[in-house]
Amino acid sequence: MDLIRMKNVEKKYKNGVTAIYDLNLAIEKGSFVFVIGGSGSGKSTLIKMLYREEKPTKGQVIVGGLDVAKLKNKKVYKLRRKLGIVFQDYRLLPKQTVYENVAFALECIGEKKDVIRTKVLKALEDVGLKNKVHNYPDQLSGGEQQRVAIARAIVNDPKLLLCDEPTGNLDPEKSLEIMKVLEDINKMRGTTIIMATHDKEIVNKMKKQVITLKDGHLVKFKQKGTYVE
Amino acid sequence: MKLFRMLGRSIRDAIKSVIRNFSLSLASISCITITLIIVAIAIIASYNVQNFTKEIERDMTIVVFLENNIEQEDIDDVEKELKSIPNVEKYTFQSKQEVKKQMQEESDVFNTVLENWDDEESPLKDTFQVKVRNVEKLSNTAKKIEKVDHVSVVRYGSGMVDKMVKAFNSVEKVTFGIVIALVLVTVFLIINTIKLTISARRREISIMRLVGASNFTIKTPFIIEGMILGIFGSIVPILITTYGYLAFYRHFEGHLYSQLIELIKPEPFIYQISGIVLLIGIIVGMIGSSSAVRKYLKV
């Protein structure tokens, strides 16, 4: 079954720049997909349309049965609860501990305290941070902070995990650690993962599906692909 | 259950935020305090003006002097005529003996002068004291009464009192306008202060949106924060108005300058004013914070 389907999607920003031209795409449940391409190729726009940070100007974007383009501003939270998002800059709350940062995602949707506790500890265990529960973000390394962000993204058991350059700020070694965590999540939890990146090494090493974008056009969608300029 | 849990969290977050951004909160609380004090004073003044204009209006009487040495039959006729005028609410008859007695009691000078007159040569007249339903038609009614047979003179507090009521009415309108303007200013102040607290928590809001918090969930803590600021901001104004008005009332013994201007009794007036001030504080805080947070809830 397809988790994501995009049909004739076009995105034109208000300043007149067109980021995506006529994109057609179907992504299966449980898959691990890289989105690659140079700067300005439309990677980020594609990811943003999937969590409705941006609305497509034309066409249809369906995520887990929800028509994202038609989703009203007030109902966006319904989509967001189905997916987790990880960014290059982690986006953690600096004044809250690791535990509080992850629990925050569940508190926002009104989960019970004991449920929060079990889920948060499980998520932190999955990313390998169970011993840093009471640390603050600034006491952690970049890789660890990103793992906290991943834990926050998966704590609600989303069907889909969107990653926008999650290794962009990390050195190769830490990047591989993150990729290991993501692969485990993909395998253990069955979470579909879509990751935008321009890190050649990672893409070549992981041998996953690859979507190549260039200047807003879909160039290639390959199984077990590699990074091609 | 879930709603209560969310509400509990919202209240906790709101209190946290007030404490965490203490200096900012203090700034907006003092803003609210200052404006609410002025608002409260304006409200008290306007209520009092309203009260004593009404009081004065209620006291306005037409005095109908009858002809000298009138017969009882004719008095009855005048009474019938008075009864037939629709604007007449009630009337009381005072014979000249009664008038004489009253005047003698009022002052020693009158007492000795009046002593020398008997009924026949007394310059005093039998009178009707007429109260009207509608004060604005007072002069009209007075003219009607004047035309009645056996009525010699009609007196009513034209001139002075009329002008006074009009002046008070315009004073009342001006104070009302000032109150409205001040409330608006306070709303703008709160919008701006809450905007500052919010922009300090912008990151938090954007993360909340990302992890699937509904707009309601995001908004509620800020609205509660605004309400808390409003409540704290109204404490001092309430104390000042309550004790201030009590002291003011006691100092002037319930009357301002003359017996004519009567102040409203402190109880339950000050409680009502306190309630109004608190309500204005809360509502103003709510409106300010909800309009401030709206901007951040768009995509």
A55 with B299: Cβ contact below 8 A = yes
Domains of chain A (ranges; CATH) run: 1-82+159-229 (3.40.50.300), 92-157 (no CATH)
Q: Does A93 touch chain B (CB under 8 A)?
A: yes
Identify whether residues B267 and B176 lie together within a single domain.
Answer: yes
Q: How many CB atoms lie within 10 A of CB B53?
A: 20
Give the pLDDT of residue B235: 94
A110/B2 touch (CB, cutoff 8 Å), yes or no: yes
Check CB contact under 8 Å for B210 and A73.
no
Mean pLDDT, chain B, whole residue set = 80
Q: Looking at residue A188, what is its pLDDT?
A: 92
Residue B299: is its pLDDT beyond 50? no
Amino acid code (one letter) for B47: Y
Range of weakest confidence among A197-201, B172-176, B275-279: B172-176
Please tell me whether residues B234 and B280 are part of one structural domain: yes
Statement to judge: residues B175 and B267 lie in one domain: yes
Residues B65 and B51 placed together within one structural domain of the fold: no
Domain finish residue from B105, B140, B156: B156
**Which secondary-structure segment (H or E) carries B156?**
strand B151-156
- Determine the pLDDT at residue B119: 66
Residues B111 and B134 in one domain: yes
Instruction: Enumerate residues 155 to 174 of chain A having a beta carbon within 8 A of any beta carbon in chain B.
Output: 156
Point out the domain boundary residue: B105, B126, B156.
B156
pTM of the predicted protein model: 0.69
Chain A contact present for B210, CB below 8 A: yes
If asked whether residues B181 and B51 sit together in one domain, one would say yes
Q: Residue B126: what pLDDT?
A: 82
Does the pLDDT value for residue B33 go beyond 70? yes
- Domain stop point among B90, B125, B156: B156
A130-159: average pLDDT: 94
In this prediction, residues A64-93 reach a mean pLDDT of: 90
Percent residues over pLDDT 70 in chain A: 99
CATH number of B87's domain: 3.30.70.3040
Give the count of alpha carbons within 13 A of B180, CB side only.
6
Average of per-residue pLDDT across B214-224: 86
Strands of the sheet containing B61-66, edge to edge, are B88-94, B127-132, B61-66, B151-156
The residues pairing with A18 across neighbouring beta strands, listed in sequence order, are: A12
Let me know how many helices (H) and strands (E) chain B has, helices first.
10, 4
Query: A117 CB contacts (<8 Å, ≥6 apart)?
Result: A103
pLDDT at A131: 93
B298 vs A contacts (CB less than 8 Å): 73
Same domain, B146 and B102: yes
| Residues B282, B175 share a domain | yes
* Range of weakest confidence among A61-65, A187-191, B62-66, B97-101: B97-101
Whether the CB of B4 is below 8 Å from some CB of chain A: the reply is no
At A149 the pLDDT is 96
Nearest CA in chain A to B8: A110
Mean pLDDT score of chain A, rounded to an integer?
Answer: 91
What is the C-alpha to C-alpha distance for residues A156 and A152, in angstroms, rounded to an integer? 8
Q: With an 8 Å Cβ cutoff, are B212 and A112 in contact?
A: no
Q: Report the residue of A11, A52, A82, A107 to disrupt the B interface, i.e. the one with the largest count of B CBs within 10 Å.
A: A107
What is the least distance, in Å, from the CA of B192 to any CA of chain A? 24
Does the beta-carbon distance from A76 to B299 stay under 8 Å?
A: yes
- The answer to whether the beta carbons of residues B126 and B77 sit under 8 Å apart is no
For B152, the enclosing helix (H) or strand (E) is strand B151-156
Q: Quick one: B184 and B45 in the same domain? A: yes
Q: Tokens 């179907």 correspond to what residue? A: A26
Closest CA to B138 of B119, B162, B121: B162
Cβ–Cβ < 8 Å for A109, B3: no
| Residues A113, A117, A118, A122, Cα dihedral to 10° | 150
Nearest to residue B53, comparing CAs of B163, B142, B132, B176? B163
Total domains in chain B come to 2
Per-residue tokens: A48: 């943003």
Closest Cα in chain B, distance from residue A120 (Å): 14
Tokens of B233: 């901001």
Cα A77 to Cα B62: distance, rounded to the nearest angstrom = 72
Structural domain containing residue B245: 2-56+163-297
- Chain B residues 168-207 within an 8 A CB cutoff of chain A: 203-204, 206-207
CB-facing half-sphere around the CA of A129: CA atoms within 13 A: 33
- Given a cut of 70, whether residue A3 has pLDDT beyond it is yes
Per-residue pLDDT tens over the stretch B48-83: 877 877 777 777 778 888 887 777 888 888 888 778
Nearest beta carbon to residue A110 from set B5, B204, B209: B5
Same domain for B179 and B79?
A: no
What is the arithmetic mean of pLDDT over B22-49?
Answer: 84
Residues B184 and B143 in one domain: no
Average pLDDT over residues B270-295: 87
Same domain, B98 and B212: no
- Residues A146-196: pLDDT tens digits? 999 999 999 999 999 999 999 988 999 999 999 999 999 999 999 999 999
Q: Does the structure show a pLDDT above 70 at A70?
A: yes
Q: For residue A78, which residues of chain B lie inside 8 Å, CB to CB?
A: 212
